[in-house]
Amino acid sequence: MQVWKFGGTSVGKPERMHSIRNLITSDDHQKIVVLSALSGTTNALLSIADSLKSDQPDEAGEKIEHLKAHYDSFVRELYKTSDGLTKGQKIVENEFSFIRSLTRIRPFTLKQEKELVAEGELLSTQMFQAYLEEADEDAILLPALEFMRVDADGEPELDYTERKLRELLRAHGARKIIVTQGFICRNPRGEVDNLKRGGSDYTASLIGGAIRADEIQIWTDIDGMHNNDPRIVKKTFPIRALTFEEAAELAYFGAKILHPSTITPAKMFGVPVRLKNTMDPQAEGTLIASKTSDQVFKAVAAKDGITALYIHSLRMLNAYGFLRRIFEVFEKYKTPVDLIATSEVSVSVTIDKTDNLPELMAELRTFCDLEEPDYDQTIVCIVGNFSADHAGIALQVLKALEGIPIRMISYGGTEHNISLLMHGRYKAEALNALNEGLFNLVEA
Ligand code: ADP
Ligand code: ASP
Ligand code: MG
């Protein structure tokens, strides 16, 4: 069995839904098809939530009717028969009457916001399933809320998914196409929750891992993982093969094509992940598996919104146990650390989660000196084969970035990553400079 995931742009127009029906039925593989919300919908739902949180029900109401008009015209083009259209209209009416009902709840809390934002995937999957039924395809819709669950820390419970999916597939697994929602799940209180923005990729790989799929395919609007961020750098090219580790680094450090955690379950069970382009299905895309090419520099990505903390203590001189004490504080406040640089008497770390920062800093100050943090930093991450006995790699990176002030460097943590910290204002310049210095690609 394979898992195929289609992102927002891949389902964002009726004709795209028509072409993904052709794609998923063009071979004999049984598939679980994971869909995102139509492009723009999740943002629109979050904006409705903002209006409701700021107690502006009229503004929310206008936004809801505007969004509904989009769905009304979408279903008119999606279905070919009047029966199909009636079904589609009913789905839209039902979901929007639920959305409207949320505007009457006061106060509007995070619980309601999560129910609201889940509507995007609930709409797209029901509309697509009704379209497959209209076309007489052998398809069924399995609700993700019945088998996707996160724990109290928001981490997916893979064992639960595995058990629940096994039961559901025993009952419905004979169908050729099994449609489900990306992104959405339940939390330990049984409420609707989600896997954070871009989470449909993660749903696909969690399912792929849980059922030990033959392959996970992520279908999007670009022909695979590119060597650099195409939103910022003009000349980029697709990479044919990446290892799980390389792809995980790129996703974690900002390559938006994959949710940061996508690779973890795929790697755990050795399920290959293929990135494909819905707009150009013949394009080769990128295969993420155990093998890679021996190219030195493979790709560059950047992650914004980073905070750097500078921690000093003279007590560190010749002391042991000090780093443990520092990292226990990060553990206590559930704050992951990305980059670390140390000297004999200081440690610098970067974090991207700052919700507990004041408490975390106050606790560190009980036994260390802390400088003012640097906010709005960016980590630029270079991925490739940097074997320890290959000379000149760091030099080439730093030479490319010679005009840019660098605050921290991490090299040697693995053989396939060099990460650098800089102020966010230098990101575009750095990505372009690396494109030229590492890949010889010069903007025209
Ligand atoms: P989907 O809606 O299908 O999930 P996303 O917008 O989340 O699609 O991801 C695809 C986008 O990721 C591309 O359109 C591209 O702009 C962006 N992107 C950022 N970095 C990369 C990269 N290194 N390679 C490919 N795409 C990237
Ligand atoms: N619809 C969700 C979002 O926009 C999940 C996804 O598209 O992967 O973040
Ligand atoms: Mg995405």
pLDDT tens per residue across span 229-242: 999 999 999 999 99
Q: β-strand 2-6 against 215-220: which pairing, if any?
A: parallel
**Mean pLDDT across the stretch 146-171?**
96
Cβ(226) – ligand 1 distance below 6 Å:
yes
Q: Which residues are annotated as a binding site?
A: 5-8, 42, 121, 220-221, 231
- What is the structure's pLDDT at 60? 96
381 ligand 1 Cβ < 6 A: no
Beta-carbon contacts of residue 439 (< 8 Å; ≥ 6 apart): 227, 228, 237, 297
Residue 317 has pLDDT above 70, yes or no: no
Ligand 1 atom index nearest CA of 259: 7
CA of 120 to the centre of ligand 2 (A): 9
Q: Which of 75-84, 301-310, 340-349 has the lowest mean pLDDT?
A: 340-349
Cis bond before residue 107 (omega within 30° of 0): yes
List, by residue range, all CATH 3.40.1160.10 domains of the chain: 2-220
The one-letter amino acid at 428? A
Domain 2-220, CATH among 3.40.50.300, 3.40.50.2300, 3.40.1160.10, 3.90.1150.10:
3.40.1160.10
- Beta-carbon neighbours within 5 Å of ion ligand 3: 7, 198
Integer Cα distance of 239 and 289 in angstroms = 13
Q: Which two tokens stand for residue 293?
A: 């090419």
Query: From atom 5 of ligand 2, which residue's Cα is the shortest distance away?
Result: 198
Q: Hey, is 253 helix, strand or coil?
A: coil
Mean pLDDT of the chain: 95
CB 181 within 8 A of CB 35: yes
**For atom 4 of ligand 2, which residue has the closest CA?**
42
- The ligand whose atoms approach the alpha carbon of 221 most closely is 1
pLDDT mean over 326-341: 95
Residue 190 makes CB contacts below 8 A (sequence gap 6+) with none
Burial 357-395 (b: 16+ CB within 10 A, else e): beebbebbeeebeeeeebeebbbbbbbbbbeeeeeebee
Q: How confident is the model at residue 321 (pLDDT cuts 50, 70, 90)?
A: confident
Q: Is the pLDDT of residue 173 over 80?
A: no
Residue type, 42: T
Residue 292 has a pLDDT of 77
Distance of CA 334 to the CA centre of its chain: 20
**Ligand 2 pocket: which residues have CB below 6 Å?**
7-8, 36-37, 42, 120, 182-183, 197-200
pLDDT at position 415 over 90? no
CA–CA distance, 240 with 436 (Å, rounded to integer): 20
For a ligand 2 pocket test, name from 42, 113, 221 the mutation site with the most ligand atoms within 8 angstroms of its C-beta. 42
Alpha carbon separation from 136 to 84, 217, 234, 343 (Å, rounded) = 11, 24, 43, 66
- Domain boundaries 298-439, corresponding CATH code: 3.30.2130.10
- Give the gyration radius of the chain's Cα atoms: 24
Q: What is the predicted pLDDT for the residue at 343?
A: 86
| Whether residue 318 has pLDDT greater than 80 | no
Q: Ligand 3 centre and the CA of 389: distance in Å? A: 37
Give the pLDDT of residue 390.
85
- For position 70, what pLDDT does the model report? 98
Residue range(s) of every CATH 3.30.2130.10 domain in the chain: 298-439
Global pTM value: 0.95
Residues 181-205 pLDDT 10s:
999 999 999 999 999 999 999 999 9
- Calpha distance 154→355 (Å, rounded): 15
Which band of pLDDT confidence, cut at 50, 70 and 90, is reported for residue 155?
Answer: very high
Residue-wise over 261-282: b if at least 16 C-beta within 10 A, else e?
A: bbbbbbbeeebbbbbbbbeeee
* Index of the ligand 2 atom closest to the CA of residue 203: 8
Q: Collect all residues with Cβ–Cβ distance below 8 Å to 34 and sequence separation of at least 6.
A: 3, 4, 5, 6, 180, 181, 182, 200, 203, 204, 207
Q: Do β-strands 297-312 and 346-351 pair in parallel, antiparallel, or remain unpaired?
A: antiparallel
Q: What digits encode the pLDDT tens for the residues 101-111?
A: 999 988 999 99
Region 47-76: mean pLDDT is 97
What pLDDT does residue 315 have? 75
The CB of 384 under 6 Å from ligand 1? The reply is: no
CA of 263 to the centre of ligand 3 (A): 14
Give yes or no for a contact between 200 and 214, defined as CB atoms under 8 angstroms apart.
Answer: no
Contact 246, 383 (CB under 8 A): yes
User: How many Å lie between the centroid of ligand 2 and the Cα of residue 48?
Assistant: 16
